[in-house]
Amino acid sequence: MSASNPESGDQPASTNVLSVLGTTHGKYVHSRRVKVLVDHFVRLIPHGHRVLDVGCGDGMIARMIMDARPDIDIVGTDILVRGQTRIPVTEFDGHQLPFGDKVFDTALFCDVLHHADSVTDLLREATRVVRKSVLIKDHLLHGPLASWTLRFMDYVGNAPHGVVLPYHYLTPREWEDEFRKAGLRVQQEIRNVGLYPWWANWLFGRSLHFIGTLDVLAKAGND
């Protein structure tokens, strides 16, 4: 097998595979995922809340939420601030949120915490900067072949964009422990998130996703 020749315009096979996976994911999965998540968040965020979207990317989901709910104000923070964003975005180091205490009502984490170096530290930071609640969409390490399925989904959705993939997934019991350590109490949990069409749900949906609304307990500084 001969190596690819950069001067001939040939691309490494791995690059071509990533390109195909990224295009396929964007066409058949991403747009539906965004719409489903926005519908959930629009329903779950309380009236008039000021929201911090942690790991917001380009802010598309936040912008769509605000378009549907003008009573909500959302600002973002991310490790890498993109050249063009749809909401105001402040850079942070992945550990400490660059905001004062209790300046937001709700913190939103949408498929972010399984990329974090420390879920505990980031959730504790969230309870520091918010007064009321934390809204989380993430994965559950639960059921047959859960780890391999989640790794595949993470790779297809993120590797084409150069996102670091630590594959740090938690079991339901481990999530409960993280919530307890951060001073959070589950107010509502959704396991049937509905991200995928029926023909894909049996493989990629199952019990691998959840959305949780969590109250900040008094001991965490809620007023």
pLDDT of residue 68: 98
Q: Which domains does the chain have, with CATH numbers?
A: 31-218 (3.40.50.150)
Q: How far apart are CA 118 and CA 129, in angstroms?
A: 17
pLDDT of residue 22: 45
pLDDT of residue 11: 43
pLDDT of residue 202: 64
pLDDT of residue 29: 66
pLDDT of residue 184: 98
Q: Which residues of the chain have pLDDT under 50?
A: 1-27, 220-223
Among 78, 97, 36, which residue's Cα sits nearest to residue 163? Answer: 78
Q: How far apart are CA 154 and CA 100, in angstroms?
A: 32
pLDDT of residue 23: 46
Q: What pTM was computed for the model?
A: 0.83
